[in-house]
Structure 1
């Protein structure tokens, strides 16, 4: 049975959500670690609802925190097995949250940090209906050789610190190379002097990226003469 997922939420500032932004936290943290970002971003995205689910498993390395899947850093295949095992539970949560807000799957944006970025990229690229955008901080693309499984090509922004000693910056360039080769639109930002974290400029660029991609699509009116 897939473990239930839940976490802190912030409703749309306008009172009516037209999009949903989901934060996926890193290894050893929980949803409270990222929901504070929503309080800043809702000024730019007043029609977005925000949620930051706690990952389904307790983290052995940090008993007060959570994990999307175990990490020992000794088994090169553990990340692939991990994202595969965690994806069904995350997908079920995303579907439930969209339904709760009365939104279609194309009104979803995923924001990940570290292990959460691994989940955002893996699950987001394989959803039946691609999300409106994927934003990843300090993470990596797991199993780039399986990108042929991608069901769509949502816009992606990846942000990474050049002093990251947890997930080295090489992971950023490996991800952008693989996504580019798969013709999936990807932008990237390298934060000078930043370690494994998110800085103000990264937050600014991330918010602008999401706001742009979550704008409601304009309807094109057809006249009788246009057939």
Structure 2
């Protein structure tokens, strides 16, 4: 199994970490792409450590990394991909929590695009409930042809979930947001969502703001600095 690593930010407070936020990048990027989100959220989470691991595979595009290959020719490739990549991510989360002396109640996952797919897949299957999962410009992956009943049977814990999407996204269309929220609702998983008006496949200031408040609420019980 590949051992993941990537850039880290220590707590802004200078003390020992009291929370951990793991940032999962998208297809063709690497951990450096998202670590700056941690700097943006440090005022809300001064006691949190941030880490943004590089995905385990070189991207088939020839640059960056991928959690799994995407050719868009096989309707089953996302499902196979999230399942294949999940053990390495789970092992990374276990190692980070152990290293910092924290448990899942102090852990949040934030994923962008393909990283969102991984955050949702793993976050719902951890044996203990996470503090928060934020999915940015991505979707919930389920087995082709299966629906909420299949998802419900796979869920091991139900963390607070926020999904954010741009209404002008031309990579993963905004319909993915509504399909994902419907699947989660059908599996009896509460979910909040935010639509970023005029935003393509990216993270605007509104998304950054709403996600930061959501993380602070889940990790500290506070909704503001």
Give the TM interval when normalised to the shorter protein: over 0.9
* One of 184, 187, 197 as aligned partner of 1:182: 187
Distance 2:47 2:156 in 1: 27
* Structure 1 residues not aligned, in runs of 5+: 218-227
- Matched-pair contact (CA < 8 Å) for 1:165–1:196: yes
- Matched-pair contact (CA < 8 Å) for 2:129–2:159: yes
Distance 2:110 2:27 in 1: 14
Give the 3-state SS of the residue equivalent to 1:91 in structure 2.
Answer: helix
The answer for the alignment partner of 1:20 in structure 2 is: 20
Give the 3-state SS of the residue equivalent to 1:188 in structure 2.
Answer: strand
- Matched-pair contact (CA < 8 Å) for 1:56–1:67: yes
Shift of 1:64: 2.7
After TM superposition, the structure 1 = structure 2 runs for residues 104-119 of structure 1, keeping only pairs within 5 Å, are 104-119=103-118
The answer for the alignment partner of 1:29 in structure 2 is: 29
- Matched-pair contact (CA < 8 Å) for 1:24–1:112: yes
- TM-score scaled by structure 2? 0.93
Give the 3-state SS of the residue equivalent to 2:177 in structure 1.
Answer: helix
The answer for the alignment partner of 1:47 in structure 2 is: 47
- Matched-pair contact (CA < 8 Å) for 2:105–2:219: no
- TM-score scaled by structure 1? 0.92
Give the 3-state SS of the residue equivalent to 1:214 in structure 2.
Answer: helix
The answer for the alignment partner of 1:221 in structure 2 is: none
Give the 3-state SS of the residue equivalent to 2:63 in structure 1.
Answer: strand
After TM superposition, the structure 1 = structure 2 runs for residues 33-112 of structure 1, keeping only pairs within 5 Å, are 33-61=33-61, 63-112=62-111
Distance 2:90 2:129 in 1: 12
Shift of 1:216: 6.1
- Matched-pair contact (CA < 8 Å) for 1:95–1:105: no
Greater mean alpha carbon deviation, residues 108-117 or residues 174-183: 174-183
The answer for the alignment partner of 2:219 in structure 1 is: 214
Distance 2:4 2:11 in 1: 21
Distance 1:130 1:105 in 2: 6
- RMSD of equivalent CA atoms: 1.2
* Structure 2 residues not aligned, in runs of 5+: none
Off by >4 Å, runs of 4+ in structure 1: none
Q: Deviations over 1:39-72 (max 9, x none)?
A: 11111101111000000000011x2300000000
After TM superposition, the structure 1 = structure 2 runs for residues 83-162 of structure 1, keeping only pairs within 5 Å, are 83-143=82-142, 144-145=147-148, 146-148=150-152, 149-162=154-167
